[in-house]
Structure 1
């Protein structure tokens, strides 16, 4: 028993447990939200405006809809949007960062100029403009988040690739006549994968919060979808009447999901760090 406790206290094991626990909870929330989508849309005016109780843990709204199922469905939608947007943004950042560092000064200058251009515009304003230009809804929000969340990770990957270019094995490969593509695949990409996967996971909370923010402002998902942003936006007009549960409980759940993604990202970064230290030793 003592050996088991000591093993669990090791940094690598503790980080792996945190990562798996966060991933399991997020997966359970996503599956539960998809399973109760029909219940989240069901209305029953005989049970409207009920405070949280044993039967309805999150209460009901002005249309008699169960707020627990609506919250789960909204969180599930937010997680799915976060997965799609973070994955695409990370791939774009990886391709841009590697290309800028390997294709020469003109490509590096073009990427730097593009990053400065995007980051010079207020983030939420740019996201709203792109979302509206693409027709709002699921795809409008998705395209907007993808277009505005790749720059920081691309800059990080570019800097890492610039360091790897000066390493001995890359210099030897270049002198032996290896093409830039071969150097990128065989020598550069394995070195930036830890930053890529960590950045990928850490993009999730940003994507989810920005999706909820844009939807709350009325420029994202439509009101027909039980998104968290829609729930919070609709509940604002009822807070003055004392129906605190309409905004407080979904808001707490949204923050909890964001913190779980952050925990997963930090745990993954800790795993990479421990592995690197063990290899160096």
Structure 2
């Protein structure tokens, strides 16, 4: 018995202590004295989950507040035009007396709506093309890879402006343009995941017994790539929102009648020289904060679905 205990101690690196420092007092249960990693892993996951929930709640509140304040954002009062930030108007007012806080929240709600629709459409395109490339044979893989390289070789903003302008601009043109230009990176990730799944023995066995490709996608591919798909979908939102604001600012996106951050920033450029700095500063900071919230949400979800990335 003593020889077995000594052997266990040597294997664990701690002479005389079995299993790396577990208590061996007679009559007491074995307890591990050197296992802080599971605790840190659990604490890290709880912290990441809290960050993800907080970011999601904040984004939902921004969208709801913007939708509710849309009528207030359109209300004009020329008697209160170009007012600096005050308690009554925390973000000040514009040249038509409209409250900039209400306009900013309404603009963020519009940008969130456009970004969500465009990002969802782009992620579906990425999944379909990734599945075709991974499961359709060498010819399909070569064609999809060539299309991915082609789209990634053109700057996003240039291709987005061309697509939006060709479709008559507006919300539809912006959403279609974002959907057609933001899928390549996610498609590459999903293609690699599906190829890894395709090499598994059970996948080959399913094909050997005659299971159809559609059923394989529904029963094996979708559950396997769902975590990566959701993370990629969330990380598409900040790109979609920023690019929507960019082309709207340049005049190729949403119409001036729609409340959007790009419209607000574009209109504010003509009043900065007159000292109305709040017309651009607060909407710009609000846009930056929203993008950072999406980025934090995506990073937290990516760490949650990839346990080895959780270090604290």
1:104 to 100, 115, 137: 137
Give the structure-1-normalised TM-score. Answer: 0.93
2:266 to 233, 238, 241: 233
The aligned residue for residue 87 of structure 2 is: 54
Q: Aligned equivalents of 1:132 and 1:149: distance in 2? A: 17
Q: Tell me if structure 2 keeps the 8 A contact 1:100–1:107.
A: yes
Does 2:196 match 1:137? no
Q: Aligned equivalents of 1:74 and 1:106: distance in 2? A: 45
The equivalences for 1:248-267 within 5 A come to 248-267=281-300
Which 10-residue stretch deviates more, 225-234 or 178-187?
178-187
The aligned residue for residue 279 of structure 2 is: 246
Structure 2 segments unaligned to the other structure (5+ residues): 1-38
1:154 to 187, 191, 194: 187
Displacement, 1:7?
Answer: 9.6
What secondary structure sits across from 1:42 in the alignment? coil
Does 2:202 match 1:169? yes
Q: Specify whether residues 242 and 198 from structure 1 end up closer, same or farther in structure 2 by C-alpha distance, changes over 3 A only.
A: same
Greater relative CO (CA pairs within 8 A, separation 6+):
1
Q: Tell me if structure 2 keeps the 8 A contact 1:8–1:14.
A: no
Q: Tell me if structure 1 keeps the 8 A contact 2:261–2:283.
A: yes
How many corresponding residue pairs? 272
Q: Aligned equivalents of 1:234 and 1:117: distance in 2? A: 35
Displacement, 1:197?
Answer: 0.4
Give the structure-2-normalised TM-score. Answer: 0.84
Q: Tell me if structure 2 keeps the 8 A contact 1:11–1:274.
A: no
Q: Aligned equivalents of 2:122 and 2:40: distance in 1? A: 37
The aligned residue for residue 39 of structure 1 is: 72
The aligned residue for residue 3 of structure 1 is: none
User: Which is richer in helix?
Assistant: 1
What secondary structure sits across from 1:237 in the alignment? coil
2:228 to 181, 195, 202: 195
Structure 1 segments unaligned to the other structure (5+ residues): 1-5
2:257 to 208, 211, 224: 224
Q: Tell me if structure 2 keeps the 8 A contact 1:231–1:247.
A: yes
Which 10-residue stretch deviates more, 207-216 or 83-92?
83-92
Displacement, 1:274?
Answer: 2.9
RMSD (Å) for aligned C-alpha atoms: 1.8
